[in-house]
């Protein structure tokens, strides 16, 4: 017997706004039954666990103990970081190296950290 990952949860003050950000990140829409002001909002991609956003009263205070790592599907690390920054992410730490390897730690608009690695082609030329 095993457990399956049902969803990845995000605590935040505005679930719909944060879901819209992540919708842009993964290229999949917010569930059509979700609306601004909802206390719970989901994105249900066809592959992988759903993303679940829930309203909580407190603000984020410390570093995440668990985070999402993203791998660009069709662009390089630099282009993907630029795209995510334009969506509203903020840079937390940049671990790129001169040879093009490494990763970047970003934060979503609610302050949740996540990483962006190089694409498969960048990691395995």
By percentage, how much of the chain surpasses pLDDT 90?
70
How many domains does the chain fold into? Answer: 2
Residue 50 bridge partners (DSSP): 7
Give pLDDT tens digits for 56-65: 998 888 888 8
Q: Which domain holds residue 21?
A: 7-59
Does residue 100 have a pLDDT over 80? Answer: no
Domain assignment present for residue 2? The answer is no
Of the residues 59, 74, 93, which one is the last residue of a structural domain?
59
Domain assignment present for residue 113? The answer is yes
Domain assignment present for residue 21? The answer is yes
Q: How confident is the model at residue 101 (pLDDT cuts 50, 70, 90)?
A: confident
Does residue 48 have a pLDDT over 70? Answer: yes
Please give the model's pTM, rounded to 2 decimal places.
Answer: 0.90
**pLDDT at residue number 74:** 86
**pLDDT at residue number 23:** 97
Residues 24, 44 within the same domain: yes
**pLDDT at residue number 47:** 85
Residues 54, 76 within the same domain: no
Domain assignment present for residue 30? The answer is yes
1 or 116, greater pLDDT: 116
Residues 83, 53 within the same domain: no
């Amino acid at each position: 017997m095993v457990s399956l990952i049902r969803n990845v949860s995000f605590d935040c003050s505005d679930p719909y706004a944060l879901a819209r950000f992540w919708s842009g990140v993964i290229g999949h829409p917010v569930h059509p039954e979700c609306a601004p002001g909802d206390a719970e909002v989901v994105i249900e991609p066809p592959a992988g666990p759903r993303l679940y956003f829930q309203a909580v009263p407190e603000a984020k205070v410390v570093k995440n103990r668990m985070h999402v790592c993203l791998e660009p599907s069709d662009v390089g690390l630099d282009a993907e970081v630029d795209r995510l920054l334009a969506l509203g992410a903020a840079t937390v730490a940049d671990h790129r190296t001169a040879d093009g390897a490494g990763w970047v730690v970003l934060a979503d608009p609610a302050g949740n950290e996540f990483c962006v690695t190089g694409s498969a082609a960048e990691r395995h030329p």
